[in-house]
Amino acid sequence: MKTLLVVYHSMTGGSAQLAQAAVRGAQAEAGVQVRLLTAPQAGPDDVLTADAYLFALPENLAAIAGLMKDFFDRCYYPVLGRIEGRPYATIVCAGSDGSHAARQTERIATGWRLKPIAPALIVCTHAQTPQEILAPKRIAPHDLQRAEELGAALAAGVAMGVF
**Mean pLDDT calculated for residue range 22-48:** 97
Q: Which of 150, 62, 47 is nearest to 102 (CA)?
A: 62
Count of beta carbons in the 10 Å neighbourhood of residue 46? 18
pLDDT-derived band at 49, boundaries 50, 70, 90: very high
**Mean pLDDT calculated for residue range 47-58:** 98
Alpha carbons 153 and 132: distance in angstroms, whole number: 32
pLDDT-derived band at 34, boundaries 50, 70, 90: very high
**pLDDT (0 to 100) of residue 60:** 92
Alpha helices in the chain (DSSP H): 14-27, 44-48, 66-79, 99-112, 130-134, 141-160
**pLDDT (0 to 100) of residue 160:** 95
**pLDDT (0 to 100) of residue 83:** 98
Average pLDDT value for the chain: 97
pTM more than 0.95: yes
